[in-house]
Structure 1
Amino acid sequence: MGRHLFQAHLLKKEKKRKKRELMLRRRRRRLRGVTSPGAPELRRAFRSEASLEAIRAHSQPSKDTAESVGPAHLALYNYPTFASAYAALAAHLFHRRLRRRLLVLPFSSVEPFRLPRLYLPHFNQLLHTLLSLLHGGLCCSWNKNSKFYRSSRAGDFEASGFQTCYLLDFIGPKKFALELSRFIPSVIAFDHRQSTLARIPHLGHCPSNLELNIDTTKSSARATFDYFSRKLAGIKSDSDISEKLLDQEDERRVFNVLKYIEDADLRQWQLPNAKEFQTALKDERAKLNCITNPLVFEQLLQLDVCNLLSRGKSLAHDRLEAAGKLIHKPFKIQLGRGLYGECLAIRADGNSKLSHEIGLELSQRSAAAGLRPIGAVVFMQRGLLKVCLRTTDNTTNTAEIAKAYGGGGKPSSSSFALRMDEFNAWTSVNS
């Protein structure tokens, strides 16, 4: 009896596997006419051939220059945060002042650098067999030259020879910093988040070569500038080396920007026109990848608070004006089929970038109409409706609605995805 049940279970598994294989073949046929992305060696992504080649180049200098440039150092910054980019600027300035080799790379959770994994031939073969059964043969090419094999075992930094690694505005996923410290003599991390502070006890015993600077009272950018400024001032070297990272004019400009970044990072919002500053700063975010933009540090040095505030005010005015023109015929919806009251909504397909401004305007109109002071902006995103909720009322919490439908956000600003049939039930009040 038991054997028959086991055989039936295996037969059921085999049918499911064949069904997945059939679906995979159909999907491949549909995708034959689709243009493939560029070859990996030509793409300059986070863990691309360009970045890996940079690691190899810095860790293996030529014999002629090895003695003059000294050991290599590495700085990974938490792309795309401005705090991490300015922290990377501080590391760049410090090492340039002392003529030390430094490789700066963006680190992203989208495709992070990998640490070496344990390699046991029989275990890996067994794992491959299980993955093949689970994914319908997706991992069928298990050989030493396959891309899957190489990417799974890649020890991006193990044989790099870096003397120091700086983790700027993050400590890495899971035990990334701890793993780095096993083969890099000195690992120094900076972060300001309460969530990071809560993770520290779970890391276990930290070795003496791992230095975690977690200060929730200042941004990572300011903490890093303070660290390298003290380090530079304490170095007794040639008299031609400046004791400051920046000259007076650049220092004033950079530190004014850092004040606004810190004001937002610590969620203080105490500086004048902080929202307008952040609006303008967002336009600079696309420049923060030093792999695709080698001039990023020169550009960061030139950012000026006055210019950013002026640009931010202009952008905010233009966006509010554009949002006002789009609100022609708002309609009433029952939030959660009436569980959370009623408010005004609008479809904004093609104008999702203005969802925040539209939502704020709708919130005021909704309150004036005697409804909840919430504005709902709805548009299609990846086959589902995305609902963005905004409010100008300090006592209203939109996040409770978003969380009930698998979304999230802040009391004043939240969002979630919704099926069309469910949203139609919300709008039945208009029929």
Structure 2
Amino acid sequence: MARWIGGKCRPISLRTPYPWRPRTFRSNAALEAIATAAEEKVRTVALYNYPSFSGAISALFAHLYHSRLNLPCLILPSSSVEPLRVEDFCVEGEGLDTCYLLDFIGPKGFASKLSQQAMCEVIAFDHRKPALTQIDCCGDPRVTFNVNLAKSSSAAVYEYFSNKLVSMMFPDVGAANLLNSEDQVRLEKVLKYIEDADLRRWSLPEIKAFTIGLSEWRSKLNCITNPYMYEQLLGISSSDLIAKGNLDISSRQIAANKFLDKTFKVRLGRGLYGECL
């Protein structure tokens, strides 16, 4: 490119010393995890919507189910910005048994293509209305879409793996529960709040504070970069989130009040056109 400088046409370089690179969500760590799982013959995969809290807590229930039965399962976050591709799971000579899509169903045709190329059963969960338009009615019996507009994905996944655990239990495993009694009461209350927000009902008390308190979790919902995600989610409490949300609301209100205390009147046209703050 040329530009006129000092009456002369001089070339101008558009190159910068730090070339721009697009941010990627399909990380090398995820691809390496897929390759390692293929080598270790892990034939069950669960992909969860990232950075959705409903997706992350669904991943927790998938993790608990497979851990209780000592079944290997690769769980990975999947972002709509740059999602994992069907080709990532199609290792030559290898296939999958089951792939769960938690809190998303992927673009139209994704589940069917994954089922065909990875030779596996695909079970997807979603609660959003746009998901209905993305369902590919291909008639593949190995693909199941669980889209319920009246129930959040996390609640549906919790019920699914709880019921599946009951049906798969063996005498030496113990009680057929994903959660112990203390965790169950606490997390089921969290699920009710998540559903209230996911379905835009906003009917539960302190739901606004809950969602604000939940916002700080966004950076913790990647199980690859945060290896403690499951333990952290297992200890989550709606009362703690509400308290955190109310604290944030209060601090914002105090900051706003300080700003409002500094207001002053401005006379428009020396007062001929009135006054404003």
Q: Residue 139 of structure 2 aligns to a residue in which SS? A: coil
Q: Residue 181 of structure 1 aligns to a residue in which SS? A: helix
State TM-score, norm by structure 1: 0.55
Partner residue, 1:73 = 44
State TM-score, norm by structure 2: 0.84
Shift of the alpha carbon at 1:300? 0.5
Partner residue, 1:58 = 37
Partner residue, 2:180 = 247
Partner residue, 1:166 = 100
CA distance in 1, matches of 2:264, 2:186: 44
Please say if residues 112 and 138 of structure 2, whose CA atoms lie closer than 8 Å, have aligned partners that are also in contact: no
Shift of the alpha carbon at 1:285? 1.4
Alignment partner of 1:291 is 2:224: yes
Q: 1:181 to 1:276 in 2, by over 3 A?
A: same
1:323-357 per-residue CA deviation (whole Å, 9 max, x = no partner) reads 2333445999xxxxxxxxxxxxxxxxxxxxxxxxx
1:46-79 per-residue CA deviation (whole Å, 9 max, x = no partner) reads 3222111100111111xxxx6xxxx521111110
Partner residue, 1:11 = none
What percentage of residue pairs aligned between the two structures are identical? 45
CA distance in 2, matches of 1:193, 1:330: 47
Larger RCO (alpha carbons 8 Å, 6+ apart): 2
Shift of the alpha carbon at 1:161? 2.7
Q: 1:174 to 1:329 in 2, by over 3 A?
A: farther
CA distance in 2, matches of 1:251, 1:99: 21
Aligned length: 254
Shift of the alpha carbon at 1:35? 7.5
Q: 1:325 to 1:27 in 2, by over 3 A?
A: farther
Please say if residues 97 and 241 of structure 1, whose CA atoms lie closer than 8 Å, have aligned partners that are also in contact: no
Shift of the alpha carbon at 1:175? 1.9
Alignment partner of 1:105 is 2:90: no
Q: 1:156 to 1:331 in 2, by over 3 A?
A: farther
CA distance in 2, matches of 1:98, 1:263: 31
Shift of the alpha carbon at 1:36? 7.2
Shift of the alpha carbon at 1:235? 1.5
Alignment partner of 1:48 is 2:27: yes
Please say if residues 105 and 290 of structure 1, whose CA atoms lie closer than 8 Å, have aligned partners that are also in contact: yes
CA distance in 2, matches of 1:166, 1:290: 16
Partner residue, 2:273 = none
Query: What letter is aligned with 2:133?
Result: A
Alignment partner of 1:26 is 2:13: yes
Query: What letter is aligned with 2:96?
Result: F
1:245-268 per-residue CA deviation (whole Å, 9 max, x = no partner) reads 010011111111111000000111
Segments of 5+ residues of structure 1 without an aligned counterpart are 1-17, 20-24, 116-154, 333-429
1:208-231 per-residue CA deviation (whole Å, 9 max, x = no partner) reads 000100111111001001001111
Q: Residue 190 of structure 1 aligns to a residue in which SS? A: strand
Please say if residues 72 and 163 of structure 1, whose CA atoms lie closer than 8 Å, have aligned partners that are also in contact: yes
Partner residue, 1:212 = 145
Q: 1:212 to 1:330 in 2, by over 3 A?
A: farther
Shift of the alpha carbon at 1:91? 0.5
Please say if residues 189 and 211 of structure 1, whose CA atoms lie closer than 8 Å, have aligned partners that are also in contact: yes
Q: Residue 178 of structure 1 aligns to a residue in which SS? A: helix
Please say if residues 106 and 290 of structure 1, whose CA atoms lie closer than 8 Å, have aligned partners that are also in contact: yes
> Which of 219, 222, 229 is matched with 2:162 structurally?
229
CA distance in 2, matches of 1:283, 1:331: 38
1:295-344 per-residue CA deviation (whole Å, 9 max, x = no partner) reads 10100011111111111111101012212333445999xxxxxxxxxxxx
Please say if residues 78 and 84 of structure 2, whose CA atoms lie closer than 8 Å, have aligned partners that are also in contact: yes
Q: Residue 317 of structure 1 aligns to a residue in which SS? A: helix
Q: 1:276 to 1:58 in 2, by over 3 A?
A: same
Partner residue, 1:267 = 200
